[in-house]
Chain A
């Protein structure tokens, strides 16, 4: 089955620690995205990648980092510099930046 997989579904982190969220797709999509969702604030774009080995900052990139070494993988690292990391994180992929996107089921990150 083709799709996009995020793991883990729930993640707990102590303050001051970095944590990496996984996103893998087997849809052969060029574009991949990371969003953050907070209650009442919709989806805010963190980073996106239009092609392997390339990525751009979205609207709220501070405190986050990504890599795109493989077409199917786009991991997101939430660093200790991110002041308020508790949120629901969604990964998506699409053929290109203008076409339909497919979403993972999300990772809920809680800082304790």
Chain B
């Protein structure tokens, strides 16, 4: 079945770049997504990439997609303390499955 994997934790210094990685097994997804979850809240869509693209840039966010390796990454430039949250990737083939989430901690 579908499987999405992420590393559990990432800790970065304020002002540095963060890179959150995700691997998935089912390559039939039309769109791939990154969501952000603040403590005690639901998820909010952060950005997405169409499956025929390699890269998408959206202000401080850069999404890279390597379809051959089934690897998706999210780069956050100039990481701020407000970026501290859990980040989930999703690659829905026929249902919306998420990875384990990566908890990003930003320290001053």
Interface residues of A (CB under 8 A from B): 6, 31, 33, 35, 40-43, 45, 48, 56, 58, 88, 90, 92, 94, 97-106, 108
> In whole angstroms, what is the CA distance A40 to B45 when docked?
20
A45 touches B41 (CB 8 A): no
> In whole angstroms, what is the CA distance A49 to B25 when docked?
22
Q: By CB atoms of chain A within 10 A, which of B30, B93, B95, B96 has the most?
A: B96
| Interfacial chain A residues near B44, Cβ < 8 Å | 103
| Interfacial chain B residues near A94, Cβ < 8 Å | 96
Known pairs A48-B96, A98-B29; A90 contacts B42 (CB<8 A):
yes
B99 touches A48 (CB 8 A): no
B43 touches A100 (CB 8 A): no
B92 touches A97 (CB 8 A): yes
| Interfacial chain A residues near B99, Cβ < 8 Å | 42
Interface residues of B (CB under 8 A from A): 6, 8, 29-31, 33, 35, 40-45, 48, 88, 90, 92-101
B95 touches A42 (CB 8 A): no
Query: What is the predominant secondary structure among interface residues of chain A facing chain B?
Result: strand
The 8 closest A-B pairs by CB, nearest first: A103-B42, A42-B100, A43-B98, A42-B101, A103-B43, A105-B42, A98-B30, A98-B92
> In whole angstroms, what is the CA distance A41 to B103 when docked?
11
Not counting A56-B95, A92-B42, A92-B96, a sample of 10 additional A-B residue pairs whose C-beta atoms are within 8 angstroms of each other reads A6-B42, A41-B100, A42-B100, A43-B98, A43-B101, A58-B95, A103-B42, A105-B41, A105-B42, A106-B42
